[in-house]
Structure 1
Amino acid sequence: MAIQISGGGSQIKRHSYQQNAEINVTPFVDVILVLLIIFMVVAPLSMVDVPVDLPPNAAAPTPPPLEPIYISVQKNGTVYIQNDRSDLHQLIAELQARTQGNHEVRLFVRGDRHAEYGQLMAVMTALQAGGYTKIGLLTEEVAEQ
C-alpha cells in the first residue's frame, strides 16, 4: 500500500495581513487645524492700532512696508481713505498722493451693509479706472452657532 501525500494542503503565510493603500489623513488634518487656530488668533492682532510714543531715531529712514489701504463707504455714501474723509471725485488723486503713484498697493474696500450698492460700485469703478487692480472687499466674520 502506498500513501500519496499531495501538496494541496493549506500553506501558512508569514504575514496574513493585506496591505492598506489608503493615506492616513489624521496628521494632515491636525496640522491644518493648528494652522487655522494660529491664523484666527494672529489675524485680529494685525488690525489693532495701539498708540505708542516712539523714541527718535538718528538713522536714515527706510521706506515703509507696503501695507493695505482701507477705503470705507458709510451708509450715507461718505467715503473715507484710512481715517480721512474724502470725496468720490478726489478719491484717485488722494490715493495717488498716498501711494506715490504705485498701483500695486493692495486696497481694501469696507462697505456698510446699509450702503447703496450703486455707491459701492461707483467707488470700485473709480479705483479700477485709476489703475488700481488689487482691490479686496471686507466683510464681518459671522460666528457659527
Structure 2
Amino acid sequence: MLVLLIIFMVAAPMMVVGVPVELPKTAAPRAATQRPPTVLTVSADGKIFLRQEPIEAEKLTAELRALHEADPEAPVYVRGDRSAPYGEVLRVMGRVTQAGITRVSLIAEAEAGTAAVQAR
C-alpha cells in the first residue's frame, strides 16, 4: 500500500501539468485539495502559461479575474522553474492577488527521502 501511495504521489503532478519546468525541491508536506486547480507556470525563460497555453502578463490579471468570478473557491497553483527569475514568479503571484484570488500555492517537488518520512 505504501508503494502505491508513493507511485500516486509521484505520478499525480505529472498528470496535472503539461509545460515542462524543473521545480525546486521542498520538505513541506503536500497540500490536499478537492477542487481542480488553475495552474500558472513560469518557464525558465520567464514566459507565463495559464494551464498549458501561453499568456501575456498584461492579460493575466483579467483572465484570472474571470476564472475567479466563475469559481471563487478554486485554488491557483503557481509552478516556477527553478532557474526562472525569482522576481518574475513574484510578479505572477502579485497578478494573482490583483485578480482577487486569495487561495494561491506554490508547487515544488519533494526532496529525496521525504516521501518515506511523510508516509510514517
Task: Judge same fold: TM > 0.5, yes or no.
Answer: yes
Say whether 1:46 aligns with 2:46. no
> Amino acid of the residue matched to residue 6 of structure 2?
M
Equivalent pairs counted in the alignment come to 95
Structure 2: give runs of 5+ residues left out of the alignment.
17-33, 114-120
The residue that corresponds to 1:68 in the other structure is 37
Task: Kindly indicate which of the two structures has a greater share of residues assigned to helix.
Answer: 2
Larger radius of gyration: 1
1:140 Cα deviation from its structure 2 partner? 1.9
Does the CA-based 8 Å contact 1:103-1:133 persist in structure 2? no
Q: CA deviation at 1:100?
A: 4.5
TM-score by length of 1: 0.56
Pair 132,39 (structure 1): closer, same or farther in 2 beyond 3 Å: farther
Tell me how far apart the structure 2 counterparts of residues 104 and 41 of structure 1 sit (CA, whole Å): 29
The offset of 1:93, in angstroms, is: 1.8
What is the alpha-carbon root mean square deviation over aligned residues? 2.3
Structural mapping, 1:1-145, within 5 Å: 39-47=5-13, 48=15, 66-144=35-113
Name the structure where strand makes up a greater proportion of residues. 2
Distance 2:65 2:100 in 1: 10
| Identical pairs, percent | 26
**TM-score, length-scaled by structure 2:** 0.66
2:83 maps to a residue whose letter is H
> Deviation string for 1:30-64 (max 9, x for gaps)?
xxxx6x65542323343426xxxxxxxxxxxxxxx
SS at match of 1:114: coil
Q: Residues 38 and 133 (structure 1 numbering): CA distance in 2 closer, same or farther, change over 3 Å?
A: farther
